[in-house]
Amino acid sequence: MKLKPLKKQTLVITGATSGIGLATARMAAEAGANLVLAARSEEDLRHVAADLTKRGGKVATVVADVARIPDIQRVAATARERFGGFDTWINNAAASIWGRLEEVSDEDSRRMFDTNYWGVVNGSLEAIKHLKQHGGALINLGSVASDIAFPLQGQYSASKHAIKGFTDALRIELEEEGAPVSVTLIKPAAINTPFPQHAKNYMDREPQLPPPVYEPEEVAHAIIHAAQHPERDVYIGGGGKMFSSMNKHFPKAMDFMNAKATMKMQTRDEAPRHPAGSLHRPEVRDGRVHGDHPGYVMKKSLYTRASLHPVLTTTFAALAGGVLVALLSGRNSPDNSASE
């Protein structure tokens, strides 16, 4: 399957006014792509669109709640009206809740699933109506939490597990019928975005992301890559891949580590800033790509970059190995020994 170069594409991005969605929109705009951006806040969309237009992108915006099918249908209709359709659909909108499972209300849990899981389902099923006819990429944002469970974010982890199951099943069904659609699941580790401030917080302290933490541009880079090159799964961060593998092979050890360490690593020593967050409505203003994680944040993941370019990485590794062997062989040759 061949996908178009980014400069010839129209991208639909949900949750486009902050964090990963905004970072992706900026990269795409700078590459000359057309953009259809969806979010709940008209004000935030207006500010983001003005900035992206300056970066070279052609932008259409849609005030939409991904949990509502009519809103998602309007997003697709806007893409057709403004740009004749779309080539890549990115389901990025997400919400979270920090708190013990016994404390979280049924109303909050259902609202989060409406956004995280049903938002992805609604977007995916609408997107493939067009993509099956014209070809292109569907990119869903899962998480390392698609593979492992994070205490204090139990419902979030459950929603990301559900996204993985849905995405994998949809990919298989599309492959069986020969549809020209690339389906990618992106699995970020913790990412330094305003995500904790947008979450509903039941705790008596401000939440924070557990390490390792990466910058959102690393996720955006992977999304942009998947929009042009078919990928199945992309882990963002070697740390996330390591934890996923450990959970698969040593689940009891991971449970022990999470119980003893991860619980403590998810709180700051300060009072909650926005306990209600933006779970039910966009109360916390958007427009920022980066969060204010207090610990070390990695700008790039060598693991992720290598996984996206395996042939090139293998070639460089082989060349480096060959040079090393040649150097060692030359150092140990009889002529060199004599001259020394």
302 with 339, same domain? no
10 with 123, same domain? yes
284 with 333, same domain? no
Q: What is the model's pTM?
A: 0.90
Backbone φ and ψ of 231, nearest 5°: -135, 150
274 with 329, same domain? no
pLDDT, the chain, mean = 92
Quick check: is 206 in a domain? yes
Q: What CATH number is given to the structural domain containing 274?
A: 3.40.50.720
Two tokens at 266?
């998810």
The alpha-helical segments, DSSP class H, found in 139-288 are 154-176, 195-198, 216-228, 238-249, 251-257
Q: How far apart are the first and last CA of the chain?
A: 57
215 with 257, same domain? yes
Quick check: is 140 in a domain? yes
pLDDT digits (tens, 9 = 90+) for 134-175: 999 999 999 999 999 999 999 999 999 999 999 999 999 999
Two tokens at 234?
């992309």
- Asked whether residue 85 carries a pLDDT value surpassing 90, the answer given is yes
317 with 273, same domain? no
Q: Which candidate in 156, 202, 214, 235 is catalytic?
A: 156
Q: How many residues does the chain have?
A: 340
Q: Minimum mean pLDDT among 1-15, 93-107, 283-297: which range?
A: 283-297
158 with 173, same domain? yes
295 with 321, same domain? no
Residue pair 97/155 in contact by the 8 Å Cβ criterion: yes
Distance CA 70, CA 104 (A): 29
pLDDT of residue 330: 54
Question: How many domains, the chain?
Answer: 2
14 with 109, same domain? yes
Q: For the residues of 229-264, what is the DSSP string, one character each? A: S--SEEEESHHHHHHHHHHHH-HHHHHHHIIIIITG
pLDDT of residue 335: 53
225 with 336, same domain? no
Domain that holds residue 324: 311-340
CB atoms within 10 A of CB 298: 17
201 with 184, same domain? yes
Residue pair 244/148 in contact by the 8 Å Cβ criterion: yes
Place of tokens 């020969």: 178
- Asked whether residue 339 carries a pLDDT value surpassing 50, the answer given is no
234 with 323, same domain? no
Residue pair 258/150 in contact by the 8 Å Cβ criterion: yes
Distance CA 192, CA 209 (A): 8
Query: DSSP letter at 267?
Result: B
Q: Is 117 a catalytic residue?
A: no
Quick check: is 69 in a domain? yes
Quick check: is 1 in a domain? no
